[in-house]
Amino acid sequence: MRIVGGIWAGRPLTSPGRRVRPTQEDVRDALMALLGDRLHGARVLDLFAGTGALGLEALSRGAASADFVEFGGEALHALKANVAARKLRPLARGERPSAAHKAARIFKRDALPFAAGLPAGAYDLAFADPPYGSLKLDRVVQAWQRVPFAPVLCAEHAPDHALPAGAHTLRFEACAVTVYGL
């Protein structure tokens, strides 16, 4: 597994093993193409981050900062390795991200209460990719509908998982991504 496009294109990502299902390269590539210019300078939230593939792909393609929320031990270990490999760190007080210095923070928390506690507009773009077959994604979408913590929410799910209609749905063999707010 690797980053597909942008400044880190081709660089490998550490994966924790079979228990984590990272977003496939073709899915990330199509999603980032759909988001296009919205990535430039964006503050990104990656819920159920796993390896951090979605947030790191966004940073590679122009986002300024990413917050990763992950609770699983194996996934958290891989996420930390992937963030460290790109020399990402939190910003100091008053410091702003730039093309030369992108920022990242990792939150070892349950993504559901994290998302539910966010104010409107806390981020520019949010990704949610919980385990398939759970209702966690439905709860994230409901929280976003109550308080849109980002203007755009990208929800990755199993192809047969029914979610409220979004602005776009990208369909792939093994998954779908429903995008809200575009």
Question: Can you give the pLDDT at residue 99?
Answer: 64
The pTM of this model reads 0.93
Say yes or no to pLDDT of 40 above 70.
Answer: yes
For the segment 1-32, what is each residue's pLDDT rounded down to a tens digit? 899 999 999 999 998 776 677 789 999 999 99
* SS3 assignment, position 170: strand
- What domains are there in the chain, each with its CATH number? 25-180 (3.40.50.150)
* SS3 assignment, position 171: strand
Question: Can you give the pLDDT at residue 109?
Answer: 96
HEC-encoded secondary structure of 73-141: HHHHHHHHHHHHHCCCECCCCCCCCCCCCCEEEEECCCHHHHHHCCCCCCCCEEEECCCCCCCHHHHHH
Q: How confident is the model at residue 98 (pLDDT cuts 50, 70, 90)?
A: low
- Count of C-beta atoms within a 10 Å radius of residue 55: 30
Cβ–Cβ under 8 Å, residues 152 and 181: yes
More reliable by pLDDT, 90 or 86: 86
